[in-house]
A and B are shown apart, each in its own frame.
With several copies, the nearest count.
Chain A
Amino acid sequence: MVLRPDILVTMKRIEIVIDEKSLDDMLRLLRDADVRGYTVIKKAGGLGSTGERNPDDYVLEEHNAVMVLACEEDQAEKVIMTLQPKLKDFGGMCLISDCQWVIGPAASL
């Protein structure tokens, strides 16, 4: 990539999908792992091992929450180590991929 490397930091992108009801527990775990940034999208639907979750269903309204967090590699490791033992309980999915964080102008850093 021709992009100036001084404005890009290599990071890990962690993407988690879980039942909205478990979101608070998950966020607590993340805070325990010193996560200082995340983004949450609620009211997602989906299909998984426990069947379909449809936020628009009139009777059986079930929601997933999608969480995205970007962090440095060692932080990502810490997060994964914290989450991994609980993943079975939470269900859903947890993906890691590589990404680059674009940092703002140095002046105001």
Chain B
Amino acid sequence: MSLSSLLVPAILFFALGMFACLIKSDLKFPPDMHKMIVIYLLIGIGLHGGKALAGSDMGSALPAVWAALAFGCGLPIVAYIILRALGKIDPLNAAAISAHYGSVSAGTYMTAVAFLGGIGVTYEAYPVIMLAIMESPAIMIGLVLAGYSRKILGGATKADKGMYKHLIIEAFTNGSILLLFGSMAIGWVVSDPSYKKIEPFFELIFMGALCIFLCDMGMEAGKRLSEFKTVGVFLVCFGIAMPLIGAVCGLFVGHFLLGYSIGGITLVTVLAASCSYIAVPPAMRLAIPEANPSFYLTLSLGVTFPFNVVVGIPMYYAAAQYLHETYYPW
């Protein structure tokens, strides 16, 4: 893997966005533009994934589903323990932060797809299912951790049952998850000639639109990064260490348990290492109003996301490559 393979346009645009933020440029993308591109990209991933799944063996998808659930439930607990034991972070903030790490970042996933595409590496159809599944369980675990934390603190449970129900329903009717699942289903059922008609919009121009999205995310990450002082050194370190822990789990699961190709392992690793900034933050804001949003937002958007995009993805790919060549299990 040469240096030039790191010069993926999408990642360079991310860097451009961060640079714009760094030099305090007045560059600003309209907020609605961001929402539109997210909608477009989610549908695009969904359709593409659905089409790929339609052509693959669905029995083999089950292990991916289990892996997704395991990540979604396991990683937040690991994160919670680390935050509590090593960082002495107060229980409610720890719970809120943890939930984010069980979930995924579609932006990181798409950057990884762009990265793999740039160096011509193929991958399995299943990771996209994991992407769609992983957003919700982490929210549930976040609620459980919050309840546990409140018990520790001994205070009255501020969050009533109605809210929990509301949050659980929301976790499954969440717009982006619905869009992802819905377009996966559509990609699955439509005939090839029908798909061909919409392919130019959803596939041909996808990578370009992703560049604009990542440029915007770069600015957003830069803004958050500039607040890193408020979160302290420990949390910043955690924001880099936690994706690495997730990555190790992802590499292990992707290679030994799922037995994917290098591309597939990379994507599974990226899913495990990434951290939500779409569905989980609003849920945690509602479920744990006592937690400080600037903690989990700075970590998720300002530390872990840029780390994964700029450093993580190539690293995970290299690790997947090494693993695949060294411990070839068959």
Contacts and interface: CB of A to CB of B under 8 A. Distances in A.
Interface of A: 50-51, 56, 58-60
A44 to B, nearest CB: 15
B278 interface: yes
Given A56-B31, A58-B34, A50 B278 contact: no
B297 interface: yes
Contact of B282 (A50, A51, A59): A59
Interface in B50-108: none
Contacts of A58: 31, 34, 220, 301
Contacts of A60: 281-282, 285, 293, 297
A51 B297 CA distance: 15
A56 B301 CA distance: 16
A32 to B, nearest CB: 18
B289 interface: yes
Nearest to A54: B293
19 contacts: A50-B289, A51-B289, A51-B293, A56-B31, A58-B31, A58-B34, A58-B220, A58-B301, A59-B277, A59-B278, A59-B281, A59-B282, A59-B297, A59-B301, A60-B281, A60-B282, A60-B285, A60-B293, A60-B297
Contacts of B34: 58
Nearest to B216: A58
Interface in B1-52: 31, 34
B325 to A, nearest CB: 39
Nearest to A59: B281
A50 B281 CA distance: 16
Q: Is the interface of B mostly helix, strand, loop or mixed?
A: helix
Interface string B287-300: 00100010001000
A5 B72 CA distance: 53
B165 to A, nearest CB: 16
Q: Is the interface of A mostly helix, strand, loop or mixed?
A: loop
A60 B31 CA distance: 13
Contacts of A50: 289
Nearest to B278: A59
A51 B291 CA distance: 11
A28 to B, nearest CB: 15
- Among A50, A56, A58, A60, find the residue whose CB has the most chain B CB atoms closer than 10 A: A58
A51 to B, nearest CB: 7
Nearest to B285: A60
Nearest to A58: B220
Contacts of A56: 31
A50 B293 CA distance: 12
Nearest to A56: B31
Contacts of B277: 59
A60 B298 CA distance: 12
Given A50-B289, A60-B281, 17 more contacts: A51-B289, A51-B293, A56-B31, A58-B31, A58-B34, A58-B220, A58-B301, A59-B277, A59-B278, A59-B281, A59-B282, A59-B297, A59-B301, A60-B282, A60-B285, A60-B293, A60-B297
A59 B34 CA distance: 11
A58 B224 CA distance: 10
A51 B288 CA distance: 13
A51 B289 CA distance: 9
Interface in B263-322: 277-278, 281-282, 285, 289, 293, 297, 301
A58 B213 CA distance: 13
B29 to A, nearest CB: 10
Contacts of A51: 289, 293
Nearest to A52: B293
A33 B79 CA distance: 39
Contacts of B285: 60
Interface string B212-227: 0000000010000000
B116 to A, nearest CB: 27
